């Protein structure tokens, strides 16, 4: 359990020095992450120099200055050519690309005899590769959990087009964790020889819940291939592919170390990769093709899945970024994020209006057990009316606080958090409204009085205590203010109290 840190006056934080001393007393392991404070003043000095409070690490990591400097020195120190040739500049670039590929496998402790690393544009590109190529068929199943990014949800279109069943496993209130009984029922369905793929995130990008890597082996033992979306998990947690061995792992490197953007990866077991059948070919993916005869030969291993020319000038920056993380120590990053998240959760759940009603509702766990540094929340006024999240974001921006609002491309977690029912969702689509998230928000509020949408804050590598302290100060400014006081609607949604978890 998280130790409580109660200020002497409710909703009134002590001064910074006192609060920091209390924090260190409550979270002793934080002192072991002191090196990150030094890096904050060197590698990430631009944060304090520009007065920015960055709490959007789930949206994108931050790069260290030395990463960019090393990459620029590489780019300007030699001539680099397209790697698809054998001339000197091409061979030099090929060496750099393959060195990056090898380091990715090493970082995730993936045996190169067992796994390949396929470079893509991002995690979504990796997921599309799987979706379009997996041998879905009638009698087969694509199973996935409610709590998934839309790029994982989108694979269902490929599955349905090929006649496979799509089976969703719900998450449970109040912590938005997997319904384990439902998941076991799904995974225990007898195998029938048809391909079956189970997809889930190592960590939710909505609630921060970590769904447990033990489900990988559990599913595999029952004849499932497993797709692990690791995009939100790997920035602050170790993924050891010598111990846990999903068939497919997807991620984006900018989530881990900020730079470069536009480069993701699909880590795939070779035996699983052999099951995939690409629906097309492109430059770089074939070893032989003719226009006189409709035949072609797909290139072996990762080459058959890297369409066209890889982002070769950026790939060396991937190795630079991973070495940067290794030099810091992923375990140190994990510990810092855990401590800061714990303090944030404690403080947020202690904020109340003078009438005793909570200011904050957390969507997900309120302690640090099996969760990461992502917190989704709603701010409620003294009448339990939610403040408009976009208005909150605008006010936060005025205070130089970077946070994120909306549904975070994760409709399943959001629909569960806001108690939306199958009937409500079905009615919306049948009435064929504007088919946009703002239109959906408005429709739900008009029909049921529920105000949907969330505020997400997330800590990461360069976060320090001052960041979370300033956010709590900002959140405290909403105490005892009604929605109309900050420019929101003067009408409180009639059923706003229903948003509160009651199970």
Q: Which residues are known to be catalytic?
A: 409
Beta bridge partners of 484: none
The span from the CA of 148 to the CA of 454, in Å, is: 16
The span from the CA of 299 to the CA of 296, in Å, is: 9
Terminal Cα distance for the chain, rounded = 20
- Quick check: 211 and 178 in contact, CB under 8 A? yes
Would you say the C-alpha torsion 269, 112, 251, 220 has a positive or negative sign? positive
The helix (H) or strand (E) run that includes residue 422 is helix 422-430
Q: Minimal CA–CA distance to 495: which of 440, 455, 445?
A: 445
Phi, psi of 437 (to 5 degrees): -60, -45
Q: Where would I find the beta strands (DSSP E) of 101-224?
A: 115-120, 141-145, 165-169, 171-172, 177-178, 196-201
Token duo for residue 370 = 């099996």
3-class secondary-structure state, position 423: helix
The span from the CA of 49 to the CA of 119, in Å, is: 35
The span from the CA of 183 to the CA of 424, in Å, is: 24
Q: Where would I find the beta strands (DSSP E) of 10-57?
A: 53-54
The span from the CA of 246 to the CA of 431, in Å, is: 41
Chain position carrying tokens 């029938």 = 192
Which DSSP state fits 33? G
The helix (H) or strand (E) run that includes residue 343 is helix 330-350
Q: Minimal CA–CA distance to 346: which of 1, 17, 60?
A: 1
Could you give the angle at which helices 330-350 and 34-42 cross, rounded to 10 degrees?
A: 100
List Cβ neighbours of 361 (8 Å cut-off, separation of 6 or more): 377, 378, 380, 499, 500, 501
Phi, psi of 99 (to 5 degrees): -65, -40
The span from the CA of 482 to the CA of 325, in Å, is: 44
Find the radius of gyration of the CA atoms of the chain: 24
- Quick check: 453 and 438 in contact, CB under 8 A? no
């Amino acid at each position: 359990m998280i130790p409580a840190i109660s200020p002497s006056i409710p909703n009134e934080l002590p001064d910074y020095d006192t609060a920091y001393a209390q924090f260190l007393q409550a979270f002793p392991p934080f002192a072991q992450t002191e090196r990150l404070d030094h890096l904050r003043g060197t590698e990430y000095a631009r944060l304090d120099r520009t007065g920015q409070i960055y709490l959007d690490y789930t949206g994108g990591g931050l790069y260290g200055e030395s990463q960019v400097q090393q990459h620029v020195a590489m780019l300007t120190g030699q001539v680099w050519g397209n790697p698809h040739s054998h001339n000197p500049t091409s061979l030099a670039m090929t060496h750099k690309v393959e060195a990056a590929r090898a380091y990715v496998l090493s970082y995730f402790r993936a045996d190169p005899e067992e796994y390949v690393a396929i470079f893509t544009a991002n995690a979504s590109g990796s997921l599309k590769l799987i979706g379009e190529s997996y041998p879905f068929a009638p009698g087969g199943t694509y199973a996935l959990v409610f709590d998934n990014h839309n790029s994982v949800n989108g694979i269902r279109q490929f599955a349905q087009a090929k006649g496979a069943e799509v089976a969703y496993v719900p998450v449970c209130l109040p912590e938005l964790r997997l319904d384990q009984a439902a998941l076991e029922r799904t995974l225990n369905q007898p195998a029938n020889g048809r391909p079956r793929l189970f997809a889930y995130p190592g960590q939710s990008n909505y609630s921060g819940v970590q769904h447990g890597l033990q489900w990988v082996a559990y599913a595999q033992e029952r004849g499932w291939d497993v797709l692990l979306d690791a995009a939100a998990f790997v920035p602050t947690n170790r993924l050891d592919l010598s111990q846990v061995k999903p068939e497919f792992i997807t991620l984006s490197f900018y989530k881990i170390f900020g730079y470069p953007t536009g480069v993701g990866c699909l880590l795939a077991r070779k035996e699983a990769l052999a099951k995939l059948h690409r629906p097309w070919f492109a430059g770089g993916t074939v070893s032989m093709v003719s226009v006189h005869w409709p035949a072609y030969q797909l290139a072996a291993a990762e080459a058959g899945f890297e369409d066209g020319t890889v982002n070769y000038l950026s790939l060396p920056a991937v190795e630079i970024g991973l070495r940067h993380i290794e030099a810091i120590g992923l375990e140190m990053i994990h510990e810092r994020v855990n401590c800061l998240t714990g303090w944030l959760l404690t403080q947020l759940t202690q904020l109340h209006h003078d009438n005793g009603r909570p200011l904050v509702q957390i969507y997900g766990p309120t302690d640090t057990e099996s969760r990461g540094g992502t917190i989704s929340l709603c701010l409620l006024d003294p009448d339990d009316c939610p403040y408009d999240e976009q208005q909150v974001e605008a006010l936060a921006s005025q205070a130089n606080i970077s946070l994120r609002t909306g549904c975070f491309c994760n409709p399943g977690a959001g629909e569960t958090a806001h108690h939306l029912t199958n009937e409500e969702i079905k009615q919306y689509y049948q009435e064929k409204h504007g088919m946009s998230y703002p239109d959906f928000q408005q429709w739900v509020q008009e029909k049921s009085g529920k105000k949907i949408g969330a505020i997400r804050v997330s800590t990461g590598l360069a976060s320090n205590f001052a960041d979370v302290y300033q956010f709590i100060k900002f959140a405290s400014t909403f105490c005892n203010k009604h929605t109309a006081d900050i420019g929101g609607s003067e009408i409180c949604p009639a059923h706003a109290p229903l948003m509160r978890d009651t199970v």
